[in-house]
């Protein structure tokens, strides 16, 4: 699978107008870069409490379905990535008070990319049950998005057409 292309100037690029430039990548790659979707979805992304996570995940899942209804795979995939990120970030805060999973700063040139980049993982704190519940809420919506038949069809079509 082609990796997410970090070399593009996402601040200037409208991926709704140029879906041929979008690569799914792995996991959450590009979730905080791809416009106009970042600007549309990010304001709804919250996970501080289960109530907030439920409202957020439902809003983002609704956007996911709307993008699918419009045949907009890039938008649907970005919404799916925000749901995934809701799960992973809430889990991180459930496991690590303050959300810091790794020791030290992110190496220059690696910001916005996933992975530890050679940094040591901090020991886990006792699980925060509030954030763990927020993670479960986002995980259910993320799994629903991944299991959506129309999403899978559009994903196959996008990869066949654009790589």
> Helices 149-162 and 73-95, interaxial angle, to 10°?
110
Exposure of 6 in the CB half-sphere (CA atoms within 13 A): 11
Instruction: Convert the pLDDT of each residue in 46-72 to its tens digit.
Output: 999 999 999 999 999 999 999 999 999
For residue 44, is pLDDT > 70? yes
pTM of the predicted structure, to 2 decimals: 0.88
Q: Are 13 and 21 in contact (CB under 8 A)?
A: yes
Percent of residues, the chain, with pLDDT higher than 70: 92
């Amino acid at each position: 699978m082609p990796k997410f292309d970090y070399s593009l100037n996402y601040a200037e690029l409208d991926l709704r107008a140029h879906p041929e430039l979008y690569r799914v990548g792995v996991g959450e790659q590009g979730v905080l870069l791809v416009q106009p979707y970042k600007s549309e979805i990010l304001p709804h992304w919250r996970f501080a409490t289960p109530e907030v996570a439920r409202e957020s995940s439902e809003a983002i899942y609704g956007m996911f379905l709307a993008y699918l209804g419009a045949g907009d795979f890039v938008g649907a995939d970005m919404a799916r990535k925000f749901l995934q990120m809701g799960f992973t970030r809430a889990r991180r805060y459930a496991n690590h008070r303050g959300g810091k999973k790794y020791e030290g700063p992110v190496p220059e040139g690696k910001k916005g990319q996933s992975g530890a980049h050679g940094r040591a993982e901090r020991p886990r704190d006792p699980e925060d049950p509030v954030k763990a519940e927020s993670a479960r809420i986002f995980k259910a919506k993320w799994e629903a998005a991944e299991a959506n038949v129309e999403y899978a069809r559009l994903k196959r079509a996008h990869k066949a057409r654009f790589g």
